[in-house]
Structure 1
Amino acid sequence: MHSLLLFSAALSALQGLTSAKPVDLLRRTVTPLSSTQVAGFAPFTQFARAAYCGTDILQDWTCGEACAANSDFEVSLVGGNDDSVQNYFVGFSPSLDAIIVAHEGTDPTQLLSDLTDVEVLLGSLDSTLFPGVSSSVEVHTGFADEHALTANAILAEVRSLMNSKATNNVVAVGHSLGGALAELDTVFLRLNIPSASISAMTYGTPRVGNPAWAALVDASNVNFKRIDNELDIIPIVPGRFLGYQHPAGEIHIVSSSNVVECPGDDDATDPQCQIQSVPNILEGDILNHLGPYEGISIGTIFCT
């Protein structure tokens, strides 16, 4: 019972907010978040931070502040090779009563270069991994290829933990490229484990797919939230002119004392939302990509 209460308190940061659905064009105001709601994100932020640490210390859960912040976490699977396959880990948090799936991100300057290339390609999803999804749903082919490298191993581990830990709660987390992979996880896990309760917390996530993808995420009964920090550039790439669109669920850290939830699918008109505050990459700040998110900075240099 104690763990269920803790999970409910932490996950209220996701579940207690406005439903991530498109809203009427006449109602485009943001929803300010309380300090209590913002503080509830911290466990998930620390998991996203931990994903940048080496696989050896992740296996032992000795990654400094990020691991200490979730000290009861039980790692069950660690993968990746610090090179061609992004690091990731899966495990169970007793205090949250949740299975956590976390993906490593990448260097923001390299990611920005990759995502502003006019040759950024959209492609249909793998029908084996995403059964029944229309070919009109398209995502960034590089993200899809990276996701496919670890999808089956993660799926098997999540299923195993759901059985052994008697929980249906699954939370995907990630920052930067890791956030894109976590976004793909939400639909992938929903399609392959219909009984699971799927949530996601992503940070500084680039656009992953086309409007049909955004609509699929919105309609998939997943509790999806993506946090953008101040003038971060990465959330506005690849450009919408290339056919990309975010799903609903934006939370924008305007400043340390002003955090808002933005309505709609990547079309908010309020100046406090990301696409209005950073209309193009020349008006953003790449350093904001590293945080701080609720006082927590994320990246390889913060794995201490």
Structure 2
Amino acid sequence: MVSARRLVSVGLLMTAAGVTARPMPEPFDIGGLWDDIKGGVNNLVDKTKNALFPSTISGTLSPRLLPDFTYFAEFSAAAYCDSNYAVNTEVGCSKNICPTVSKNSVKTIVEFSEGFADTTGLIARDDTTKTIVLAFRGSHSVRNWLTNLAASMVRLSWCSGCKIHEGFYSAYQDEADVIIPALTALRKQYPSYKVVATGHSLGGALAQIAATDLRMRGFEVTTYTYGSPRIGNENLCKFMSDAGTNYRVTHTDDPVPRLPLMLMGYQHVSPEYHIKTDGIGAAGIDVLKGYINFGGNTADDGLISVDILAHLHYLITAGIADCAGTEFEIRKMLE
């Protein structure tokens, strides 16, 4: 039998050596267990990522770019508003969601919403800024979520070794036959207008894919995407990044840009513009380079995040998807 004196001696030796006993967790402490698991995973990830992928922060956003970041976030928000899908009507939003777009002379020229994936968006002509805007709606219907879940990668002929998210590419293909002829005609009619592709969440992924396709057809397209998920493998991301000017915006620990997982071979278009602090303008937005990058959104809270609110707030005062209804379109999916 171990004496009390011996137990005290062992305790003193452990204390002198700097070893302290960890308190036993409460029985069935699920919250504490989750915190332990999350902390352990994040600690392991931090050590690995810092060794393999050092921080690539190259500065903060130039203040001259911030107005466009905010303006095209309004267009991404407008893509959620059903009222903007009437051709030849002024683009606007309820709840003062897109005030600058509503104030400018912007008309819907083409709308689209077809195919199993329910790919939805509009092409607008902005006569105030002389811009043709291709805006994709983010996830709203059951069919949109099925598109998100079709996360296996398929080969793509755009570049050597390129692979792309099967669901996203199929969703874009559903509307390519509408988008390409419409933009071709508008470019001929308004040759001095610049072309921008934009979208939030799923809409951001579709905007990036569409812009790359258009660039290969001779268009000069700038992309502004907000909370976009990963789209494809490293070869594709490099090809997309090199093809034109891309502004891929993320917000604090938004979980969507962390999906699909890198373990599946997915990477991101570079650079990333990471909103690390709200309310202080361009100084709160870091610019980071790299198809795999742990200095911005991915590093904000490790690899695990469930902060849905971070996904819904991008630069504008209202939520970027506030114009969307809450009803899922189950009936359409079954038609």
| TM-score in terms of structure 2 length | 0.71
What's the secondary structure of 2:192's corresponding residue?
coil
Which residue of 2 is the match for residue 33 of structure 1? 61
User: Does 1:163 find its partner at 2:188?
Assistant: yes
1:276 counterpart (282, 299, 305): 299
Which residue of 2 is the match for residue 90 of structure 1? 123
CA contact (8 A) 1:100 1:171 kept: yes
2:111 counterpart (78, 87, 92): 78
Which residue of 2 is the match for residue 11 of structure 1? none
What's the secondary structure of 2:124's corresponding residue?
strand
**Percent identity of the aligned residues?**
24
Which residue of 2 is the match for residue 179 of structure 1? 204
CA contact (8 A) 2:117 2:147 kept: no
Which residue of 2 is the match for residue 237 of structure 1? 259
Give CA-to-partner distance per residue, 1:254-295, whole Å, 9 cap, x none: 111211111222324x3xx112113223x4412210014253
What's the secondary structure of 2:232's corresponding residue?
coil
Distance change (3 Å), C-alpha of 1:110 and 1:260: farther
CA contact (8 A) 2:74 2:316 kept: no
* AA partner of residue 226 (structure 2): Y
Distance (whole Å) between structure 2 residues aligned to residue 191 and residue 235 of structure 1: 25
User: Does 1:121 find its partner at 2:152?
Assistant: yes
Shift of 1:37: 3.1
Which residue of 1 is the match for residue 285 of structure 2? 259
Distance (whole Å) between structure 2 residues aligned to residue 108 and residue 259 of structure 1: 31
CA contact (8 A) 1:236 1:278 kept: no
* AA partner of residue 227 (structure 2): G
What's the secondary structure of 1:185's corresponding residue?
helix
Shift of 1:162: 0.7
Give CA-to-partner distance per residue, 1:85-110, whole Å, 9 cap, x none: 22211122122222110000015999
Shift of 1:44: 0.6
Aligned length: 264
Shift of 1:120: 2.5
1:42 counterpart (70, 74, 84): 70
Which residue of 2 is the match for residue 63 of structure 1? 93
Return 5+ residue gaps in structure 2 as ranges: 1-52, 326-335
Pairing 1:192-231 to 2, within 5 Å after superposition: 192=217, 194=218, 196-220=219-243, 222-231=244-253
Distance (whole Å) between structure 2 residues aligned to residue 42 and residue 147 of structure 1: 25
Larger helix proportion, structure 1 or 2? 2
Shift of 1:51: 0.5
Shift of 1:173: 0.2
Shift of 1:244: 0.3
Q: Comparing both chains, which one has the higher relative contact order based on Cα–Cα distances under 8 Å and sequence gaps of 6 or more?
A: 1
Shift of 1:202: 0.2
Q: CA RMSD in A?
A: 2.8
What's the secondary structure of 2:119's corresponding residue?
coil
* AA partner of residue 249 (structure 1): P
Return 5+ residue gaps in structure 1 as ranges: 1-24, 128-132
CA contact (8 A) 1:168 1:197 kept: no
| TM-score in terms of structure 1 length | 0.77
What's the secondary structure of 2:74's corresponding residue?
helix
Distance change (3 Å), C-alpha of 1:90 and 1:297: same
